[in-house]
Amino acid sequence: MSLHLAIRASCRTGASAFRSASLAELSAALRNGASLSELAQLPIICDGRPALLGDWFTLSGDGSDGRIICDGDFSRVHFLGAGMHHGEIRVTGNVGRHAGEGMSGGRLLIDGSAGDWLACGMAGGEVIVGGNAGDNAAAVLPGRPQGMTGGLVIIHGSAGDLAGSRMRRGLLAIGGDSGAATGFELRAGTVIVAGQAGPHTGLGMRRGSVVLLTPSHEPELPPAGLPPTFHRGSLWRPAFLPLLGRQLSLAGFAAGEHLTARTLWQQWHGDSLCGGRGEVLLPGKP
């Protein structure tokens, strides 16, 4: 049976609704086999003050199947799924910041939108967002040498600035637009944007691939937003894109079919400003 979480209208102690709550310890408690009564006594932080999970959330079920269902709008709840190793968390609405931070396994399914820092520092597992994501999705945490090092992140909507910044491995797929500096200082891995990418795409990238699916009528010209320190390469048929396309199509990513259908791609190399050997790929003319 799944474990169900829902936000109380008011605290059991009589306090009014919280503005912000952190559930950073929830994944570890479930991993250690905590019972329902033990979970209700789990220390959390609400509005910067210590509280208990059961004070602000109703709990039902037992989580014996490894699944947690968060019912309703969790946009004020942060660090949900942080440090997950296995299992599945499903949010039927929106979720706050740092969802899926540091995941190494399991699945985080968000029916709505996610806040900033989605899946930052992720090492494995899957994060799938039905709506939009804020800034720094699958990105590097401040003070850390690298961002996402493995796993799969699918955002069916749009993403904010610095998506995939300093990624080391893994796959980030964005179904809508992305903000400024997508793939900033990319080390490796792949970022796919089905819509329009913002300015400074790939700035400072050293390796890896940024794939822009929006058709370019002039593939011999640099796409809007690409730094001038990128230079045009050749038209070629990358063998890995059809494989990624099939993987994404199986996961329900609508633009995955464009990766399998397209054969020729225009390559742009960079960022030469830092001696980078990364690539930005755009659909090329046959």
In this predicted structure, the answer to whether residue 216 has a pLDDT above a threshold of 80 is no
Every domain of the chain and the residues it spans: 113-283
Q: Work out the average pLDDT over 15-34.
A: 83
In this predicted structure, the answer to whether residue 223 has a pLDDT above a threshold of 60 is yes
Q: Report the number of secondary-structure helices (H) and strands (E) in the chain.
A: 5, 17
Return all residues near 259 (Cβ < 8 A) that are at least 6 apart.
Answer: 192, 211, 213, 241, 242, 244, 245, 248
In this predicted structure, the answer to whether residue 220 has a pLDDT above a threshold of 90 is no
pLDDT at residue number 34: 78
Phi-psi region of 241 (alpha: psi -120 to 50; beta: other; left: phi over 0): alpha
Q: Work out the average pLDDT over 191-206.
A: 96
Q: What is the C-alpha separation between 279 and 115, in angstroms, rounded?
A: 28
Q: How confident is the model at residue 77 (pLDDT cuts 50, 70, 90)?
A: very high
Asked if 268 contacts 280 with a C-beta cutoff of 8 angstroms, the reply is yes
Q: What is the C-alpha separation between 167 and 118, in angstroms, rounded?
A: 13
- The DSSP H or E segment spanning 266 is strand 265-270
Q: What is the C-alpha separation between 127 and 105, in angstroms, rounded?
A: 10
Q: What is the C-alpha separation between 20 and 226, in angstroms, rounded?
A: 37
In this predicted structure, the answer to whether residue 217 has a pLDDT above a threshold of 70 is no
Q: How confident is the model at residue 14 (pLDDT cuts 50, 70, 90)?
A: low
Q: What is the pLDDT of residues 90-110, one digit of tens each?
A: 999 999 999 999 999 999 999
Phi-psi region of 201 (alpha: psi -120 to 50; beta: other; left: phi over 0): beta
Q: How confident is the model at residue 194 (pLDDT cuts 50, 70, 90)?
A: very high
Ranking 51-55, 96-100, 118-122, 163-167 by mean pLDDT, the lowest is 51-55
In this predicted structure, the answer to whether residue 63 has a pLDDT above a threshold of 60 is yes
DSSP assignment letter at 142: T
